[in-house]
Amino acid sequence: MSVEPHAATTRIRQSGLLRSQGLIGGKWTDAYDGKTIQVQNPATGDVITSVPCMGRRETADAITSAYNTFDSWSKLTAAERSKRLRKWYDLINAHKEDLALLITLEQGKPLKEALGEVAYGASFIEFFAEEGKRVYGDIIPPTLGDRRLFVLKQPVGVVGAITPWNFPLAMITRKVGPALACGCTVVVKPSEFTPLTALAAAELSLQAGIMPGALNVVMGNAPEIGDILLESQQVRKITFTGSTAVGKKLMAGSANTVKKVSLELGGNAPCIVFDDADLDVAVKGSLAAKFRNSGQTCVCANRILVQEGIYEKFADAFAKAVKNLQVGNGLIDGTVQWLFSFLLVSVVDNLHYTILFSVVHFYLYFPTLKTGAEFALNSFLGSQRKLEDFGWIYVSPFLADVDTKVRSGKLESFLVKVLQ
């Protein structure tokens, strides 16, 4: 069932989940200098709302809030923390339609996928609500008779969590859930392009009884927020999902204060199709492997390696399948792709513009490799134009006959430049 964007926004606002301020110490807070950033609907370009453009000072206060709350939150029994997390899980499920609408509005994915993300994201809270009660220690046989050796696991302290835009709920819950369950407190920096889902989840956490100050949310100036998280002696762990380049910087920056670091970074995974593959199954499987979330996931295939005997048939069938994907506004029933740029469509001397969209690289695999790259014509011509009815949505292209040594074949295809 299709939903009109304005009606979706109104529904979310009436539910109390459309928050437009950061959360520090349990209080909804504007940027101290009054600066804001717009959150836009990628399907229309319309502004959903504005949120604070926060920086060093707001983040420092969020860290202090988390640090001051750590002692009381960590001293709750695991069973008590579990009860509150379970309540949070129940509230997420109770508001799954509203949260799904919000995800689609600010991030773009089809509503069906957004509903799936809500269930996926809630499952992390459910899982860690239970596992938090089973953080067992250990007894170690001593080497001396008058010794007793045991391991006691304790929360590390304040956690800085930096999350991407592609899964604005699930990337929050998979980091915050385990941290809160074991007694840590958290400062979350969601993507400045998709902060509304994080703020809605934070609102539900307060309703669930998560202690004010245990979960703080700041967004805005990413370098400033990241720098203060790295510099602070009070932050004891950094968790990040995003590019390898940024992950390297966070790892290096964490060294000075010897923080624990958990990183989920980029990749360039291939999908391999051999001559004996069932063509229909191979096309269907490759389509699913590449175009989930329009290819904007860490586990999507970036390259398809095709054996020579089936190459032409596969490439032709795959091109037709890609062309038949229904691309458009995620709130419209039947939409399966939302290839888009939610950042800026920036023109530089009228030479090129930057867009975000899904690209498939085809390789002629074994025994020969062709050099160079040629776009499959039908798909490429469609990709050169925006769909007129939608704000930042493009038809999906793919590269064929790509040399595995070229740069485009080595990088994760989240961001590309298209010549105009």
For the segment 322-339, what is each residue's pLDDT rounded down to a tens digit? 777 777 788 888 777 655
Q: What is the mean pLDDT of residues 100-123?
A: 94
Give the burial class of 12: count Cβ atoms within 10 A of its Cβ; 0-12 exposed, 13-18 middle, 19 or more buried: buried
Catalytic residue among 97, 264, 308, 412: 264
Which strand (E) or helix (H) includes residue 196? helix 196-207
Distance between CA 222 and CA 220 in Å, rounded? 6
DSSP classification of residue 5: H
Which strand (E) or helix (H) includes residue 363? strand 360-365
Q: Write the pLDDT tens digit of every residue in 64-100.
A: 999 999 999 999 999 999 999 999 999 999 999 999 9
In the block, tokens 């609500």 appear at 129
Q: What is the mean pLDDT of the chain?
A: 83
pLDDT at 343: 28
Length of the chain: 420
Residue 406 confidence (pLDDT) above 70 = no
Contacts of 208 (CB under 8 A, 6+ apart): 84, 85, 87, 88, 90, 91
Distance between CA 342 and CA 393 in Å, rounded? 9
Q: Are strands 398-400 and 360-365 parallel, antiparallel or unpaired?
A: parallel
pLDDT at 237: 98
pLDDT at 402: 62
pTM of the model: 0.83
* Bigger pLDDT: 418 vs 326: 326
β-bridge partners, 303: 270, 361
Distance between CA 315 and CA 362 in Å, rounded? 8
Whether 299 contacts 268, CB under 8 Å = no
Q: Is 264 a catalytic residue?
A: yes
Q: Write the pLDDT tens digit of every residue in 126-143.
A: 999 999 999 999 999 999
Residue type, 68: N
pLDDT at 360: 44
| In the chain, % of residues over pLDDT 70 | 80
Residue 368 confidence (pLDDT) above 70 = no
Rounded to the nearest angstrom, the gap between the alpha carbon of residue 401 and the centroid of all alpha carbons in its chain is 31
Query: How many Cβ atoms are within 10 Å of 387's Cβ, its own excluded?
Result: 17
pLDDT band at 293 (very low <50, low <70, confident <90, very high): confident
DSSP for 291-325 reads HGGGG-STTS-SEEEEEHHHHHHHHHHHHHHHHTS
* Bigger pLDDT: 35 vs 347: 35
Beta strands, E only, 22-68: 22-24, 27-29, 36-40, 47-52
pLDDT band at 376 (very low <50, low <70, confident <90, very high): very low
Residue 344 confidence (pLDDT) above 50 = no
Instruction: Copy the structure tokens of residue 47.
Output: 């502004």
DSSP classification of residue 142: -
Q: Write the pLDDT tens digit of every residue in 231-245.
A: 999 999 999 999 888
pLDDT band at 408 (very low <50, low <70, confident <90, very high): low
Query: How many Cβ atoms are within 10 Å of 53's Cβ, its own excluded?
Result: 20
DSSP classification of residue 396: P
Q: Are strands 398-400 and 374-375 parallel, antiparallel or unpaired?
A: antiparallel
Between 28-42, 68-82, 288-302, the lowest mean confidence (pLDDT) is in 288-302
Would you call the peptide bond into 367 cis, given omega within 30 degrees of 0 as the criterion?
yes
Distance between CA 152 and CA 175 in Å, rounded? 22
pLDDT band at 357 (very low <50, low <70, confident <90, very high): very low
**Closest residue by Cα to residue 85 from 219, 227, 186:** 186
Distance between CA 353 and CA 21 in Å, rounded? 32
pLDDT at 301: 79
Q: Could you tell me the domains of the chain?
A: 5-264 (3.40.605.10), 270-419 (3.40.309.10)
3-class DSSP assignment, residue 416: strand
Residue 364 confidence (pLDDT) above 80 = no
